[in-house]
Structure 1
């Protein structure tokens, strides 16, 4: 029958397209693997920065990144920095190296230094319950032992406090909740302290209150005078400065919409404003051997404590890091060296620094776009190849992006094949609308359920203000969404327009043959 002939044709066509897709995937993966092992690690600094200058604009265009600034560290010295793209697209204002940017969660790394300064002075103890340093503010009642919520566990994101709410943004000049009001709403224990890793903003903001209660000083005043200024970070502050109005770029969200400057009701976990070169100075200070020209803020033992694994990461974080220390992620590189890093993500912003303390190498990357994870991963891959230490774990994001592209291609192939079957069945009359279930075969029920489920998930996803997958895969997530929409509609059409039964097909073909005979 013609229907069987069409099925045979579709199977041949599908095999050919699948073979082409498989060949393309192999070529792509081989070229990707080869690019990961090219000999850029032997290039000079000048050659590598020239390569960056040539590549950055291409990668920015690929992921629609408005602006980025990058700083390189060699032998514990800031050796190069540059800025690319725009601070404000509408105004066509170029991004400059002295732009004051939101560092977001890099703030946690800096806050950890502030806490360790108090430990060195004997004003707090890492293993003391945090409740004894909170003044008249108290931890909420819990089924878990509050004495187990220690300074050490807060610093290592293992105190039992979850991530907390996102989107607590305020205009710099507007009224905002006090730190204590914020903590009263956000701090809760959802699992046993010390039992597992859980990235936590409220946990670090509790440390902000600890610093203020122990020192009797404003958090920003303490951090500026004890840490930022001594490290030469003169363009950094945990407080908004009106003089920065012309220096702070616009941020851009996942859809490319502009995001004006904002502040949080807290500072310790994500409130630091800084330049890419200032964060490079902070990263240099954390090198194990130190730079003799670098002011001494913490002793070597404290820095080693900060960079010592405290707990294994879990969930998505285990994909990009092995452990968490005090405000720092930690990983072991392929050559056995230790890498220490932290990143930051906010509304319209992404930041990252990565250092190899043993060798004194490092990189800092700022971007005023929330679509920057693949971009940052690509730059880190280029840098890690150049340094010769082997790929850093954060660079795995690029491999996942590649895998997602292959999955999208395969789903699209299957969808086209099924859509072709449905379309052919409609125009030939072999498929008819059937709303009632009747004696629906299992494949029809499965297609209907899958189509409704996929469509429901897509509608839910579109209604969300933020989805993690769209940050990691800003381009791929959009393609995946459209492909899944196409698939769901195809499945629903296939279920609602089933193929006629064998008896119905026989009768239809017999009727058509009779009509042809009469016309002849």
Structure 2
């Protein structure tokens, strides 16, 4: 039973003033917010500019880029196929991947299930790349992306690693089963049945002019771009539509929505898959946590250049809040707005953090890490010899190919993993093209080896950036 009466409604005026101040102070460009409670939308409003240059104001019906809030929509599209009997979430994803398959470099690829792909524990590493209009020819289709980057960095279920590649693979699974382009499939199976008329996938190019433009942290327009993994972040939706989506997830029967998933299927979307030390869990497309009283929270945030979004649902209270912004630095405003709204209903509200990973601590060398390691770094055509030396808790180096060893800085323990940062240029087409030389390392001990990934990073995350994953497998060399 809800602890918030259905008729209860706090004043939203302080939240309006918060948003208006942020816009007046140049800390926001466009903002849209919606609150759903008791099975209806109790507040929805837009503020500022959706597109300042076109003099298009933001409204509750303005489509904003959702960034990673796209992921729950992608998962719901797959769940519609489950409901139709076309697949099982606990089947190996490779069962449905025909032209390209996940490769089991550091784990058994057949145990990377559809469910694990959507819960960031399949063993696939993280990835991101944006392409402006002049680079559209550089973007790989999803099959080619999996072929180039679909290697397991870790054994499935062994650790949490946020993975856009997993959602690219889910899109291929869905398209292979239906013979339909993924954007069209999401529209057919999810957007249209739910009556989300403001929403569209990035392939609906003609509708882009109705959507919010994207701005950097200084309020400068960012030229239109697409990404390497559309199914993980390229849905556009309004605050109004996102509220309708939230009510569907809270099992409300909203007028104009077709019941294409039964309650069991909705529960499968929200069921914890991997629970982190903090108690925050990944699900098939979402994250879940609990307030101190035990009230469950289902949530997802999104962020990329020119985008910061947030959606929080408390199903037991039939309450949800969502905020959309078109600025790179909008994360703090999204949090403030959601926190003020939800604390107005539930004073105990505390926003959960979107990670199921362990906390970090200073690295302390252990026998499973110390010494000299040699192996291979691979992906995107690269197959380079790699050497790692860990001399102490604060001295380690990495060398790739015939290049000199570079020191690893900022070493931390992330649970049993070692993380750190080095520099170097990987001999692969994408790395050479982008000049990605900052190398972010994460390694786990596994069966006497060190396994994991190196993410080659370049660019400004407020405007345009790239994170390319390379899989690392190392064996210890006796001194």
TM-score for both structures, normalised by structure 2? 0.69
* 2:122 paired residue number: 159
1:366 paired with 2:347, answer no
* 2:292 paired residue number: 334
Shift of 1:327: 0.5
Shift of 1:169: 2.5
- Distance, in Å, in 2 between the alignment partners of 1:271 and 1:146 is 27
Which of 342, 345, 357 aligns to 1:387? It is: 345
1:325 paired with 2:287, answer no
TM-score for both structures, normalised by structure 1? 0.64
- Distance, in Å, in 2 between the alignment partners of 1:294 and 1:359 is 21
* 1:56 paired residue number: 19
Shift of 1:466: 3.6
Query: Is the CA contact (8 Å cut-off) linking 2:8 and 2:345 kept in structure 1?
Result: no
1:104 paired with 2:67, answer yes
Shift of 1:252: 1.3
Matches within 5 A, 1:224-303: 224-288=187-251, 290-291=253-254, 294-303=257-266
Query: Is the CA contact (8 Å cut-off) linking 1:63 and 1:375 kept in structure 2?
Result: no
Query: Is the CA contact (8 Å cut-off) linking 2:90 and 2:113 kept in structure 1?
Result: yes
Shift of 1:107: 0.9
User: For the structure 1 residues 275 and 42, does the alpha-carbon distance in structure 2 shift closer, same or farther, using more than 3 Å as the test?
Assistant: closer
Instruction: Encode CA deviations 1:386-433: one digit per residue, 9 max, x unaligned.
Output: 11152232489xxxxxxxxxxxxxxxxxxxxxxxxxxxxxxxxxxxxx
Instruction: Encode CA deviations 1:77-103: one digit per residue, 9 max, x unaligned.
Output: 122211111223455543223222111
- Distance, in Å, in 1 between the alignment partners of 2:320 and 2:40 is 9
* 1:496 paired residue number: none
1:190 paired with 2:148, answer no
The structure where strand makes up a greater share of residues is 2
- Distance, in Å, in 2 between the alignment partners of 1:221 and 1:464 is 32
Which of 97, 105, 109 aligns to 1:134? It is: 97
User: For the structure 1 residues 242 and 150, does the alpha-carbon distance in structure 2 shift closer, same or farther, using more than 3 Å as the test?
Assistant: closer
Shift of 1:284: 0.8
Query: Is the CA contact (8 Å cut-off) linking 2:50 and 2:213 kept in structure 1?
Result: yes
Instruction: Encode CA deviations 1:195-237: one digit per residue, 9 max, x unaligned.
Output: 1211100011100000011112111222111111000011212
Q: Which runs of 5+ in 1 are unaligned?
A: 1-39, 397-452, 472-520
- Distance, in Å, in 1 between the alignment partners of 2:291 and 2:244 is 23
- Distance, in Å, in 2 between the alignment partners of 1:99 and 1:467 is 24
Shift of 1:353: 0.9
Query: Is the CA contact (8 Å cut-off) linking 1:334 and 1:389 kept in structure 2?
Result: no
* 2:87 paired residue number: 124
- Distance, in Å, in 1 between the alignment partners of 2:168 and 2:134 is 19
- Distance, in Å, in 1 between the alignment partners of 2:353 and 2:17 is 20
User: For the structure 1 residues 85 and 233, does the alpha-carbon distance in structure 2 shift closer, same or farther, using more than 3 Å as the test?
Assistant: same
* 2:387 paired residue number: none
1:465 paired with 2:423, answer no
Q: Give the alignment's Cα RMSD to 1 decimal.
A: 3.2
Query: Is the CA contact (8 Å cut-off) linking 2:61 and 2:241 kept in structure 1?
Result: no
User: For the structure 1 residues 83 and 123, does the alpha-carbon distance in structure 2 shift closer, same or farther, using more than 3 Å as the test?
Assistant: same
1:343 paired with 2:301, answer yes
1:169 paired with 2:134, answer no
- Distance, in Å, in 2 between the alignment partners of 1:294 and 1:172 is 39
User: For the structure 1 residues 389 and 213, does the alpha-carbon distance in structure 2 shift closer, same or farther, using more than 3 Å as the test?
Assistant: farther
User: For the structure 1 residues 111 and 172, does the alpha-carbon distance in structure 2 shift closer, same or farther, using more than 3 Å as the test?
Assistant: farther
Matches within 5 A, 1:351-500: 351-388=309-346, 390-394=348-352, 465-466=459-460
SS at match of 1:70: strand
Shift of 1:65: 1.2
Shift of 1:309: 1.2
